[in-house]
Amino acid sequence: MVVSENSFPEDPNELIAGLREQLEEANRTIADLQEKLDSASAAKGGPDTGLETTPLDEMETTLRRLVQRIAMILQAEKTVWMLYDRESGELVAKPPAYGVDEDHLKTFRIRATQGISGVVFREGRPEIFLDAVRDARTLKDQVAYFNVVNGVAVPLIVIKRDDQNRVIDRQTIGVLHVWNKRHGEEFNDEDVRLLERLASSLAAVITNMRIYQEVVEERKELLQTIESLYAGLVLVNKDGRVAQLNASARAMFGISGTLDSKHYKDVFQHEGAVELFRLGLDNMAKDEGEAGSTAELTINADGHEHVYQCQSATVKSEEGKPMGIVCIFNDITEIRNIERMKSAFVATVSHELRTPLTAIKGFVSTLLMDDTGFEEVERREFYGIIDSECDRLTRLINDLLNIARIEAGESLKPSYSQVSVRELAQKVVMIQKQSTHRHTLFLDAPAELPKITADEDKLDQILTNLINNAIKYSPGGGEVHLIIEDLPDAIRFGISDQGMGIPKEHLAKVFEKFHRVDNRDNRKVYGTGLGLFLVKHLVEVIHQGRIWAESEVGKGSTFWFEVPKHLDPELVDD
Ligand code: ADP
């Protein structure tokens, strides 16, 4: 039965019967949709059916029609319903209303302790008023503001019943107002009875809608959380269809476009992943996968190899029925790299310790022998070697101690003074010249260079380390330049060599601790991968500067760093 404003039956009972029928149908649709939504939202299965908007729209249409029909049945100009807001303690008018526009409607709110709305809500009984302007009860509601003359207000009560239709719970959720009886008439008790019956239907629809909205909200939140997870997450239904795939998982497996409930074998090309899902589903079928299983996959994403730790587990419904499997992929590439670097580090440090120790032990044993007959010159040479090997050991141990300090969050203690850049550079170059015969060292610096506030020892350490590397990583010899430029606010240093160079992808990473370029040329050059990490700290933290490198493989490298001429006084005071 279709009811329109122009042609509704005279007999209100017939009309109500028709409406009831429609309402029941609407409620059935809602229940049906709810069921579908439940199975889709249970993050445990069900493809994305895009249910977020359609049922809500339908419910709103039902509500709008109902509100309009309430006005028609009561022969009133306006229908407004209010919900109790627990947080603010207010009764608040909600759309859709009939005969009141939405902007206007928003202003209609009142404390649940006040006005006629408050009485109806608190006492749970209907009220009629005949003259809104003079009636003391409607003053607070300010209904006159809506051009209201007379009206009926009834509570919106939700009644819960058990299987035998016995009432198990009653809850007043708001108030339903009907205003201005048409044709200059007044509302009477018959209207109240009618309105009470309609109010219970309205309350049922509102409750359904609220439950639905909550479910949708929860589902949205859940989906957003899943979507924004750093880990990849894949949900596969028990029939093998992919139900969810978050952004990280899509990036990981290079999947774009919609899933359309495709089978996992049609979505994933990666053999390891396919095997993982197959195993997961097998375990689910055998009821063994609940505790979950772990595997490691290597996936080539964005041109790099990544190692993922994958955990899969069976997802069960509340009743314990298996619904599918969930797989989480954690990127552990960095952890694996660090593990690898740490073992390489242990090997290199052991080597770095053993080499000078072997030399020291060798020369000391030789010198201890009585019958060696070494000349004084030779002896002195041996002592010299022992001395420099001891220095090497001290350097390494100091490096390790400094790293430990930086790791613990302590900055290395600076000791600032006015440093003559030129003198320091000349000294460093002179000392380094003595350590190599294959390389020619140059100092390319202007004749006049200012004094700057710096930690002389640490600036020395930076330059020595970089020149040392320049020599170390150009085993074939060549030119090594220490370039100094006098900039307006800073001094720029450049250390260039004609050595093996650094591949592009390593240029930034060489400043990370333990990072060493691992290739045929480098493997022969021993080191710990700590030097540049310390140098970067000394430049950035101790001298408020910056450091970077330029390089071409096979041609050579230049390490640049800049330190300000005037350090932050606060830091100098430190
Ligand atoms: P170490 O020299 O002890 O390995 P560093 O931290 O000083 O540690 O350097 C890190 C890595 O950077 C080196 O292992 C090397 O691969 C690369 N590197 C540093 N300086 C140069 C250079 N001048 N030329 C080529 N490679 C370099």
Structure token pair of residue 380: 């002195």
**DSSP states along 492-510:** EEEEE--SS---GGGTTGG
- Nearest Cα neighbor of 20 from 211, 202, 209 is 202
Tell me which of 352, 473, 522, 538 to substitute to probe ligand 1's pocket, judged by most ligand atoms within 8 Å of the beta carbon: 473
Pocket test for ligand 1, best of 525, 532, 558, 559 (most atoms within 8 A of CB): 532
Helix 421-433 / helix 456-472 crossing angle, nearest 10 deg: 40
Helices 12-41 and 54-73, axial angle in degrees (round to 10): 160
pLDDT higher than 90, residue 369: no
| Distance of alpha carbon 389 from alpha carbon 367, whole angstroms | 16
User: 532: CA distance to ligand 1 center in Å?
Assistant: 7
Q: How far is the CA of 507 from the centre of ligand 1 (A)?
A: 10
pLDDT tens digit string along 44-78?
A: 333 343 334 457 788 888 899 999 999 999 999 99
Closest C-alpha residue for ligand 1 atom 9 = 529
Specify the pLDDT at position 34.
Answer: 55
Summarised one tens digit per residue, pLDDT across range 231-265 is 999 999 999 999 989 999 999 998 887 777 899 99
Looking at the CA of residue 527, tell me the nearest atom of ligand 1: 3
* pLDDT score of 219: 86
Q: Which residues, 6 or more positions from 519, have their beta carbon under 8 angstroms from its beta carbon?
A: 503
Provide the mean pLDDT of the chain. Answer: 86
For residue 422, the CA-to-ligand 1 centroid distance in Å is: 26
Here the tokens at position 236 are 């596969």
> What pLDDT score does 7 carry?
43
Nearest CA to ligand 1 atom 7: 531
Pocket test for ligand 1, best of 510, 524, 555 (most atoms within 8 A of CB): 510
120 within 8 A of 91, measured Cβ to Cβ: no
Between CA 50 and CA 40 the distance in angstroms is: 9
> Of the residues 517, 533, 547, 559, which should be mutated to test ligand 1's pocket, given the most ligand atoms within 8 Å of the CB?
517
Mean pLDDT over 506-534 rounds to: 83
CA of 473 to the centre of ligand 1 (A): 7
More confident residue, 482 or 289: 482
E strand residue ranges, 369-473: 417-420, 439-444, 451-454
Q: Which residues contact 146 (CB under 8 A, 6 or more apart)?
A: 78, 80, 100, 104, 108, 179
Using 50, 70 and 90 to split pLDDT, how confident is the model at 3?
very low
Which atom in ligand 1 lies closest to the alpha carbon of residue 532?
Answer: 6
Distance 308 CA to ligand 1 centre (A): 29
Cα separation, 114 vs 430, in Å, equals 92
Window from 252-261, 417-426, 493-502 with minimum mean pLDDT: 252-261
- Span 431-458, pLDDT tens digits: 899 888 999 999 999 999 999 999 999 9
Between CA 385 and CA 379 the distance in angstroms is 10
pLDDT of residue 399: 84
Task: State residue 25's pLDDT score.
Answer: 61
Q: Distance between terminal CA atoms of the chain?
A: 87
Largest CA distance in the chain: 135
| Rounded mean pLDDT, 510-526 | 79
Torsion 409-412-413-419 (CA) sign: negative
User: Is residue 566 helix, strand or coil?
Assistant: coil
Ligand 1, CB within 6 Å, residue ranges: 469-470, 473, 497, 499-502, 510, 515-517, 522, 527-533, 557
Distance 529 CA to ligand 1 centre (A): 7
pLDDT in tens, 204-228: 889 888 888 888 889 889 888 888 9
pLDDT at 495: 98
pLDDT given for residue 559 in this prediction = 98
* Contact (CB, 8 A) for 548 and 466: no
Instruction: Compute the average pLDDT of residues 461-490.
Output: 95
CB contact burial 136-161 (16+ within 10 A = b; e otherwise): ebbeebebeebebbbbbbbbbbbeee
Against a cut of 0.95, is the pTM above it? no
Closest ligand 1 atom to the C-alpha of 516? 14
Strands 556-564 and 490-496: antiparallel
What residue type is 215 in one-letter code?
A: V
Query: What is the mean pLDDT of the segment spanning 74-88?
Result: 95
Distance 516 CA to ligand 1 centre (A): 6
User: Order of strands, edge to edge, in the sheet holding 90-98?
Assistant: 109-111, 90-98, 76-85, 167-181, 151-161, 127-129
Cα–ligand 1 centroid distance for 533 (angstroms): 10
Distance CA 383, CA 375 (A): 12
Residue 472 Cα to ligand 1 midpoint, Å, equals: 8
Whether residue 28 has pLDDT greater than 90 = no
Cα separation, 485 vs 9, in Å, equals: 97
CA of 348 to the centre of ligand 1 (A): 13
d(CA 319, CA 315): 11
Answer whether the bond into residue 488 is a cis peptide, omega within 30°.
no
Share of the chain above pLDDT 90, in %: 50
Instruction: Using the atom order of ligand 1, give the atom closest to the CA of residue 529.
Output: 8
For ligand 1, the distance from its centroid to the CA atom of residue 219, given in whole angstroms, is 52
Among residues 529, 217, 474, which one has the least CA distance to residue 349? 529
Which of 396, 469, 521 gets mutated to test ligand 1 (max ligand atoms within 8 A of its CB)? 469
Range with the poorest average pLDDT among 160-169, 405-414, 434-443, 519-528: 519-528
| Position 355 confidence tier, pLDDT thresholds 50, 70, 90 | confident
The pair phi, psi for residue 247, each rounded to 5°, is -60, -45
Asked whether the predicted pLDDT for residue 8 surpasses 60, the reply is: no
Q: Give me 503's structure tokens.
A: 């591949």
Instruction: State how far the alpha carbon of 284 is from the alpha carbons of 267, 279, 315, 323, 415, in Å.
Output: 20, 8, 9, 9, 65
Task: Give me the residues paired with residue 413 across strands.
Answer: none
Q: Is the pLDDT of residue 128 over 90?
A: yes
Residue 156 to residues 72, 138, 458, Cα–Cα distance (Å)? 19, 19, 79
Closest-CA residue, ligand 1 atom 16, reads 517
Beta-carbon neighbour count of residue 479 at 10 Å? 14
Q: Which strand (E) or helix (H) includes residue 323?
A: strand 322-331
The residue whose CA has the least distance to atom 12 of ligand 1 is 510
